Amino acid sequence: METTSSSRVGAQTAEAPATAAAPAQEPQTDAVTGAQTDTQPQEAAAPVPAARRTAEGFLAADFPWYGLDGAFSGPRWLMQVGTAADGTVEHGSTGHGDEPSARGEIATGEKERFAVVITVASNPLRRSGDGTGVLEATSVSSAAWLAGSGLLAYSWPGQMDHSLRDDWLDQQTEAAWELADDLAGDDWSTLSLPVDGEPTPFHYRESEFGWVLAGSTGTGVHLGAYGRGMSAYGLGFSAIADLGTYE
């Protein structure tokens, strides 16, 4: 499977919405460790809100971001960006609908309705930032892997003890990797959805936890998406003209 050097091992297992409160962390630069955050001394000026920090990460990208098109009228929010070792933005996620949680339906009894769209820069084979190696090109499989692992991050099998979930997540994440590496396999079907108004083929699969899809656009990016409670068959995607609609 073609992917970036860190897409396989570094993909986050929990992409928290940008607006969620979180303690200060050390700066992260791995391709899929999430948006960068800066730890500030207590006497420093008030820290920049997480949503604004994340927006700055999105604005630093040199490729267009995608989300659901104008037919979707629900809430939208920015999630996280993933960067290469040299700080180049390589992918990021935008959320739509209910903000999901891992336990979701199990904890509340209510079905969550959400769709997350992942934009992955289409990168050719290139040298690493420090000049010591070569990074593999990204592909549709890269988007499928990020979408599959993202859905798992917000999934919690019924009757599963908390102490067992990490083992389950490791096993299912490995399975998601193998599925993303075999998009021509029987586990995937083909679904045509509009991207910027143009019918576009996507690889699509469903599971008890939700659905995952992945495809490419004509604007030099790959798209992945995952969701639950919202039918993928009625979705459309478009380039985001104003990131402010996601804050």
pLDDT of 104-144, one tens digit each?
A: 555 454 577 999 999 999 877 655 555 555 556 788 999 99
Summarize pLDDT for 211-231 with one digit per residue, the tens.
Answer: 999 999 988 899 999 999 999
pLDDT for residue 194: 97
pLDDT for residue 153: 82
72 HSE (CA, 13 A, CB side): 27
Asked whether residue 2 carries a pLDDT value surpassing 50, the answer given is: no
User: Mean pLDDT across the stretch 13-23?
Assistant: 38
The secondary structure of 147-215 as a DSSP string is HHHHHHHT---TT--HHHHHHHHHHHHHHHHHHHT-TTSTT-EEEEEEETTEEEEEEEEEETTEEEEEE
How far is the C-alpha of 62 from the C-alpha of 27, rounded, in Å? 21
* Inter-residue contact 93 to 79 (CB < 8 Å): yes
Asked whether residue 51 carries a pLDDT value surpassing 70, the answer given is: no
How far is the C-alpha of 200 from the C-alpha of 217, rounded, in Å? 7
pLDDT for residue 18: 42
Q: What is the pTM of this model?
A: 0.74
pLDDT for residue 8: 42
Q: pLDDT above 70 covers what percent of the chain?
A: 62
Summarize pLDDT for 72-95 with one digit per residue, the tens.
Answer: 999 999 999 998 877 889 999 999
pLDDT for residue 158: 61
Residues 6+ apart with CB under 8 A from 84: 4, 6, 29, 31, 90, 128, 129, 135
What are 240's two structure tokens?
Answer: 């985001």
Q: pLDDT above 90 covers what percent of the chain?
A: 42
Lowest mean pLDDT across 22-26, 72-76, 150-154: 22-26
- Band (pLDDT 50/70/90 cuts) for residue 235 is very high
Asked whether residue 47 carries a pLDDT value surpassing 70, the answer given is: no
User: Mean pLDDT across the stretch 28-48?
Assistant: 40
How many helices (H) and strands (E) the chain has is answered by: 5, 11
pLDDT for residue 17: 41
Summarize pLDDT for 169-210 with one digit per residue, the tens.
Answer: 676 667 777 888 899 999 999 999 999 999 999 999 998 889
